[in-house]
Amino acid sequence: MKKPIIFILVFLTIVLLRHPLFSEDIDGAVLQQFKRSFSDVKVDEFRKTDVDGMYEIVNNGRILYYLARNNYIFSGSIWSSAKVNITRERESEVFTKNAKEIPLDKGIKIGDGKDIVYEFTNPDCLYCREASKYFAQKKNVTRYVFFIPILSYGESEKKIKYIICAKDREKAYEEVMTGRLDGKNIEVCTDGNALKFYSEQQNIIERLGISSTPQFLVNGKHVSGANIPMLERFLKKE
């Protein structure tokens, strides 16, 4: 009988001395133990941490932790004594690596500048619209847009499919992100190729483990949220 996954929100303060938190050594026996106990958890990466008996698991972009002695798995944030969220930094590192591997032809291309931006967004998210407005003023940017439908935003999926179905996707994106379709009846998309494109984008989002918007990769640097000062810092000076 499989043991249930126990998710415990844990905030650990760890004093880092001479060694980094994570080592590259993989304990094969522990990995096999984990797979036997939690066969339903996909393991993208599995490695030992500097916390005795604790291992890090990368699961679709998420960071989980495994206590081998107790055979428990949990999620949470590990903080250093310098008040650095090490878990979040690691998630950002994983996101950056995985995002760089996605095929850009699966994104909607906007612009033709030297700055390369991967944009993961939702059409009804106010922070996403704020970031979109910021990028619309930048002339030296090429954006590759990937959409995340969020159920709490009622019309977001229809709006995403409206953009993907449009002959001029860039124009449709601008219409949606500036609110011109808010409250209006949106025609249901039935185009097979467009719906396939939509499905391919959702597969990418699932692999990246994105659960909040907006997210960006700006010239290879991860930015979470509509952090305009950080976006500005990572763009090349025009």
| Residue boundaries of the structural domains of the chain | 10-99, 104-234
AA letter at 66: Y
**Mean pLDDT calculated for residue range 117-145:** 96
CATH architecture of 104-234: 3-Layer(aba) Sandwich (3.40)
Distance (Å, whole) CA 94 – CA 208: 9
Kind and range of the H or E run holding 58 = strand 54-59
Structure tokens at 70: 């107790």
Higher-scoring residue by pLDDT: 61, 218: 218
pLDDT of residue 5: 44
Structure tokens at 8: 């415990």
- CA 113, 125, 237: angle at the middle one, nearest 5? 25
Structure tokens at 91: 């998630």
Q: Are 53 and 67 in contact (CB under 8 A)?
A: yes
Residue 15, pLDDT > 70, answer no
Higher-scoring residue by pLDDT: 2, 135: 135
φ and ψ of 200, to 5 deg: -65, -40
Residue 107, pLDDT > 70, answer yes
Residue 1, pLDDT > 50, answer no
AA letter at 231: L
Confidence of residue 178 (pLDDT cuts 50, 70, 90): very high
pLDDT of residue 131: 97
Please tell me the least confidently modeled range out of 85-94, 127-136, 148-157, 225-234: 148-157
Confidence of residue 2 (pLDDT cuts 50, 70, 90): very low
Q: Are 48 and 25 in contact (CB under 8 A)?
A: yes
Specify the pTM.
Answer: 0.80
Positive or negative torsion for Cα 55, 46, 224, 181:
negative
Query: Over the stretch 143-164, which tens digit does the pLDDT of each residue have?
Result: 999 999 987 667 899 999 999 9
Residue 61, pLDDT > 70, answer yes
Q: Are 88 and 75 in contact (CB under 8 A)?
A: no
For the chain, the distance separating the N- and C-terminal CA atoms, rounded to the nearest angstrom, is 61
Query: Over the stretch 134-143, which tens digit does the pLDDT of each residue have?
Result: 999 998 999 9
pLDDT of residue 57: 94
Please tell me the least confidently modeled range out of 14-23, 28-37, 42-51, 173-182: 14-23
Higher-scoring residue by pLDDT: 1, 222: 222
Confidence of residue 237 (pLDDT cuts 50, 70, 90): low
Confidence of residue 18 (pLDDT cuts 50, 70, 90): very low
Residue of 86, 74, 66, 87 lying closest to 10 (CA atoms): 74
Q: How many CA atoms lie within 13 A of 47 on its CB side?
A: 13
